[in-house]
Structure 1
Amino acid sequence: MDRPSFRLAFLHPRYWLLWLGMALLWLLVQLPYGVLLRLGRGLGWLMLRLARSRREIARRNLELCFPEQDAVARERLLRENFASSGIAFFETAMGWFWPRWRLARLAHIDGLEHLQAAQREGQGVILMAVHFTTLEIGAALLGQVHTIDGMYRAHKNPLFDYLQRRGRERHNRDATAIERDDVRGMLKTLRNGRAIWYAPDQDYGPKQSIFLPLFGIQAATVTATSKFARLGKARVVPFTQRRLPGSAGYHLQIHPPLQDFPGDSEEADCLRINQWIEQVVRACPEQYLWAHRRFKTRPAGEARLYPKQRR
């Protein structure tokens, strides 16, 4: 996919409100990092009270995944999770607007040698991640030291789409944005020895999914990771990230490639991935995206786990 380019049509009055909002956001994120963290927590507090639907989804997910915790502990985790989501709003703007040197001061990266080794050998990499609230800032920080391609879905607003892609791709001078449904393009990119950020931890429906346990619950689990690794002749390299306490920044960990992957069956591969996802989420549950209806798709005959959404 070509790099995003500015169009004169973006100056049309219908986009002026968005331009104004982006200008205000740019000004806001010039504040010190510690102030942005506090503002983010405040935004999270507001979201917790106003975003009723997302709050109830997150609360239900915590109830399903952490039955061993009492209600008080889960509510505390819910509040911290929304605080993390509020901070993520400002982290996204930091990734789009901060100068490279200012971002780089927050990065603590371990395991970069695993990506560098694959690059030297011309080996494609599936950078297997999960949907932590820090995913935007994590991709920006890693993109400063190693090119990462990514799966992409165009936004309906063409100006926002332009700003979003420009903000993300400025850290990767030769990065490629691949349409989410462009399987052929993804496989070609992997065979060309590039690294693609990919997260297999969400519910994409019953098509091309199998049911396997995640947090003890049968979850629709995509089989694409195994297929991409096999057909793209790529290594699967797990990648985790977390926001450090205080103003210490972010720890990015690139783990060693999975051995003997893909294995003998898609079921074994998917179970292995789910077990890894559960492990890394348990290590940092307050920073995970719990507002996603992860267990929406149910095996035949099973009752839904979430209340019916109001329209």
Structure 2
Amino acid sequence: MSNPSPQYIPGKFYYQFLQPKYWLNWLSIILLMLLAILPWFIQRSIAHTLANLCWGLLKSRKKTTITNLKVCFPEWSEKQVYAQSKQVFHDMMLGVFETLNAWYKPHWFKGRVSIEGLEHIENAQKNGQGILLLGTHSTLLDAGGYICSKYFSPDVVYRPQNNPLLDMLIYRCRATIYKTQIDHDDMRGLIKHLKAGDAIWYSPDQDFGLKQGIMAPFFGEPAATVTAHRRLLKISKAVAIPLYFYRDGDDKNPRYKILIEPLLDQMPSNNELEDATRVNKIIEQQLRIAPTQYMWFHRRFKTRPEGYPNIYQ
């Protein structure tokens, strides 16, 4: 989505947000804030109810999720694919409440978080290196960013919302989590912060066509794979470190884990395809840890090589 308008400064309140056309937005915001103060067992119950509702109503997203899981996990039976696809919707809705808790009730996470591999970030920062944290579009949303912020100060790449009021709200809420929010179109800003030694969460796991990438295997299937991070790393002299966070155990009493892997040697290399394949393989390994905590309702394979059928028919 594009920036709502050049006249809007991210995070700034404008009196025009009080106009009647925004009143429904304000009611939604108030409702979300009220939901955020509820105990987890009630939030969890509401999340599962909403997930079942979305599963029944969002036919296209449901079909896309089932198709993606069939392609990526051919070892699963039809019954497993169906059950796991439905769980994706449940994890997505749980992620909404986890994000609300991160924004409005962060103390809820106290005692629920553990981390592995923090030394990889600390060592890179001691060397004065910027860090591109290669992550995924997890259903945990900003809750993942919050739990990371308990151990280091991450920046984030974001896409502005079309609705300027919602953009202001999300920007302000995220400002309590991330040190800096960088527009996905602001390549100069990205490079500047990497050169300054910042750690930036960047997710190269969606299909933006071949103008921004190349075809590379993802779970054995050709997928349009973003390669912009190669240029960022090369220009800024930053390092790439894989980052993954996920909910662990029973969602009645969830725990959250952060996994930080060693920096990727020789990234970027001289071979664009090898680099894209390497990053996709890392993402595959991460997603196998908690498969349903990924946004499988996006069309990851919408760009197809010549001669390949459309898998989303």
TM-score w.r.t. structure 1 length? Answer: 0.92
| Equivalences for residues 2-21 of structure 1 within 5 A | 4-21=11-28
What is residue 168 of structure 2 aligned with on the other side? 162
Give the number of equivalent residue pairs: 304
Give percent identity, aligned residues only.
38
Which shows bigger deviation, 27-36 or 127-136?
27-36
Report the counterpart of residue 4 of structure 2 in structure 1. Answer: none
Task: From 194, 203, 212, give the equivalent of 1:190.
Answer: 194
Shift of residue 135, structure 1, vs aligned partner: 3.0
| CA displacement 1:140-168 (0-9 Å, x = unmatched) | 22124322111122211111001001111
The equivalent position to 1:178 in structure 2, one of 173, 177, 182, is 182
Partner residue of 2:32? Answer: 25
Contact residue 111 and residue 254 of structure 1 kept, 8 A: yes
Counterparts of 1:59 and 1:259, CA distance in 2:
35
- 1:106 aligned residue: 112
Give RMSD over aligned pairs: 1.8
Q: How much has 1:128 moved relative to structure 2?
A: 0.5
- Cα distance in 2 between the residues matched to 1:117 and 1:11: 48
Of 264, 272, 276 in structure 2, the residue corresponding to residue 266 of structure 1 is: 272
Q: What is the aligned counterpart of 2:226 among 212, 222, 228?
A: 222
Helix, strand or coil for the counterpart of 1:285?
Answer: coil
Shift of residue 113, structure 1, vs aligned partner: 2.5
- Aligned-partner Cα distance in 1 for 2:132–2:242: 8
Which residue in the other structure is 2:122 paired with? 116
Cα offset, 1:66, TM superposition: 1.6
Aligned partners of 1:95 and 1:168 also within 8 Å? no
2: distance between equivalents of 1:71 and 1:271? 28
Preserved CA contact (<8 Å) 2:10 2:168: no
Q: Which residue of 2 aligns with 1:302?
A: 308
Q: CA deviation at 1:220?
A: 1.0
Query: Which position in structure 1 is the counterpart of 2:44?
Result: 37
* Structure 1 unaligned spans of 5+: none
Which region of structure 1 is more displaced relative to structure 2, 110-119 or 149-158?
110-119
2:116–2:259: 8 Å Cα contact kept in structure 1? yes
Q: Distance in 1 between matches of 2:42 and 2:298?
A: 28
Contact 1:104 1:141 in 2 (8 A): no
Tell me, yes or no, if the aligned pair for 1:134 and 1:287 is still in contact at 8 Å: yes
Q: 1: distance between equivalents of 2:103 and 2:289?
A: 28
Aligned to 1:283: 289
Q: Is the 8 A contact 2:101 2:108 kept in 1?
A: no
Query: Which residue of structure 1 aligns with residue 244 of structure 2?
Result: 240
Tell me which residue corresponds to 1:73. 80
| Equivalence for 1:96 | 103
Deviation at 1:67, TM superposition (A): 1.8
* Residue among 143, 151, 154 paired with 2:149: 143
Q: Which residue of 1 aligns with 2:5?
A: none
**Local SS of the residue matching 1:219:** strand
Distance (whole Å) between structure 2 residues aligned to residue 258 and residue 104 of structure 1: 31
Q: 4+ residue stretches of structure 1 with deviation over 6 A?
A: none
Q: CA deviation at 1:303?
A: 2.1
Does residue 1:199 correspond to 2:203, yes or no? Answer: yes
1:95-147 Cα deviation digits (max 9, x unpaired): 2211x433333322222232223223221000110112113210122124322
Other structure's SS at 1:286 match: coil
Contact 2:10/2:167 (<8 A) preserved: no
SS at match of 1:287: coil
